[in-house]
Amino acid sequence: MTDLNTLFRLDGRVALVAGAASGIGRAAAHGLAASGAITVCADLNEQGAASTAAEIRDQGGTADAVALDITDQASVDAAVHGIRSRRQRLDILVSTPAVNVRKPLLRYTAEEFEKVLRLNLKGSFLIAQAAGRVMSESKRGSIILFSSIRSLVVEPGQGAYAATKAGLVQLARAFAAELGGDGVRVNCIAPGVVETPLTEPIKRNPDWYSAYANKNALGRWATADEMAGPVVFLASDAASYITGTVLFVDGGWTAIDGRFQPPV
């Protein structure tokens, strides 16, 4: 019988968080560590990853830091091999890095499209593949990729980003189908508007910022910390029968049809 007292605990499990230097990745690393996971904070910004790991250790958790470029095969392989060598296992992967070039598709350059595709889709593929290989051998694991509401709804200027986030959903589903027999679960989290470095340009525009806040049911933006709970849930045994799905954490954005309040 499942022990309900430890259903959300991750004690002894090893978690790799790509993008842990800031934003959602940093929040996810803290959430996993607080739930007992040995957390490896990885980022292209190695100093930022080290800072997150130090914060976790200061709070009594266990954390390492590693430099990681998820778009580079050698960097990915080195990071995963290092974790396996030091910790002998890898139970959880959370991958958050993304980039967005906001402009109409007719004005996109091939280089800009490649930039968005390379990080958001190729990078996610490389890190999920590497983690999946380790997890399939140990016959357990949870891979959590970060999609977006833009996988489902789009607006002018978000076309390339939306395409990668929709592609990421199908990538996760394919991984789920192929790794399920080995006990590995693969899911996506799709945030709405979250206050992170990626959305800082919007925050500097009061009208734009308010329009997004008023688009969802809760009438506000999310904080990065509000993504930690969903990450811990999908990583834990509480989600043991959940794979190949998308968890929308969007304040009701995708539930609401338009901004007009009917006189009812």
Catalytic residues: 161
**Parallel, antiparallel, or unpaired: how do β-strands 194-195 and 14-18 relate?**
unpaired
The number of beta carbons lying within 10 Å of the beta carbon of residue 148 is: 29
Token pair for residue 202? 């919007």
Exposed/middle/buried for 130, CB within 10 Å: 0-12, 13-18, 19+? buried
- How far is CA 135 from each of CA 19, 52, 175, rounded to the nearest angstrom? 20, 25, 12
- C-alpha radius of gyration, the chain, whole number: 18
Contact 119, 10 (CB under 8 A): no
- How far is CA 215 from each of CA 7, 18, 219, 251, 255, rounded to the nearest angstrom? 34, 29, 7, 9, 10
- How far is CA 63 from each of CA 14, 35, 261, rounded to the nearest angstrom? 10, 12, 48
